[in-house]
Structures are given as structure tokens and as C-alpha cells.
Amino acid sequence: MSEFVIDIEKQLNRLGRDIQNLVERIVPLEDKGHDFTPTCDIIESEEHFKLLLDLPGLSKKEIHIALKDHVLTVKGERVEELSDDESYKRQERKSGVFSRSFALPENVNAAETEATFRNGVLTIKMPKSDVLKDSKSIPIK
């Protein structure tokens, strides 16, 4: 591949990230239908993208990952139950329904996307590829 093509590809990837950042700044982060927004890191290498979401207190059965039209959505619910004789004196940890959606670049091979959940951190690894296959659901290992 020529250096010109590689440079154009890097510029288009940078443009895509800039557009994603602009959308995230314009669209309000608070959604009336959701109780909290888990924090997330997005990491990129030459071979893959990786998302890390902090979801302490959940089990992988309570987390649902879907992929449709190059949009990855992570949903779930964290429920805090108190016994009848308990009440909060202070409550700082958020609970309830959450949903995060991420627009994926065109070069992500959705069929080979992997998700793992360990120590309260959901890791979703998405390989980059020229051969693209779609996927609707991603199991968590």
C-alpha cells in the first residue's frame, strides 16, 4: 500500500474520531430514561479497538451487548436491594438502568468481536479488518 493511501486512511480515521467527539459533546449525556452512565475508556491499536466499561456490582447475566448498523450498545441494570429494616443514610453509588452506545468505524469486524467481564470491568475487543462480517449479539465470556 502506498504511503499516500495510508495517510488518507489515517486522516479519515482522525476525522471519524473528531466527528464522534463532536456528537458526544452536542448530545446531552444525561438521558431521562437512564439512571446512570458507566465510565468508559476507548483504546485503539493498529489491530483492534478496545472498550473498557466500569460495571462494579453487576454479573455478566445482567449485561446485554448488541450490535446493529455499526452501533455497539451496552445495556443493563444495577439493583441495590435493602432489607426491610435498612435505609440509606448516604447513597453515592448509582444504581438502576444504564445504556451506552458507540458508533463503530467501518473497519471493525463485528463477527469477531469478543467481550469479557472480570473484576467489575467489561472489556469489548473489536478487531480491525478489511473483510467485514456483521453480528447482532455478542456473548460475554
Give DSSP secondary structure letters for 88-136: -S---S--EEEEEEEEPPTTB-GGG-EEEEETTEEEEEEEB-SS----S
Residue 49 in this model has a pLDDT that exceeds 60: yes
Q: Is residue 15 part of a domain?
A: yes
17 and 38 housed in the same domain:
no
Q: Which domain holds residue 24?
A: 1-29
Check whether 29 has a pLDDT greater than 60.
Answer: no
Q: What residues pair up with 41 in beta bridges, in sequence order? A: 52
pLDDT at position 11 over 90: no
Rounded to two decimals, what is the model's pTM? 0.69
> What type of residue sits at position 14?
R
Q: Are residues 16 and 44 in the same domain?
A: no
Chain segment 112-131, per-residue pLDDT in tens? 889 999 999 999 999 988 76
Q: How high is the pLDDT of residue 43? A: 94
Number of domains into which the chain is organized: 2
The yes-or-no verdict on residue 54 having pLDDT over 50 is: yes
64-110 confidence digits (pLDDT tens) = 999 888 888 999 988 888 888 998 888 888 888 899 999 888 888 87
Query: Average pLDDT, whole number, for the chain?
Result: 82
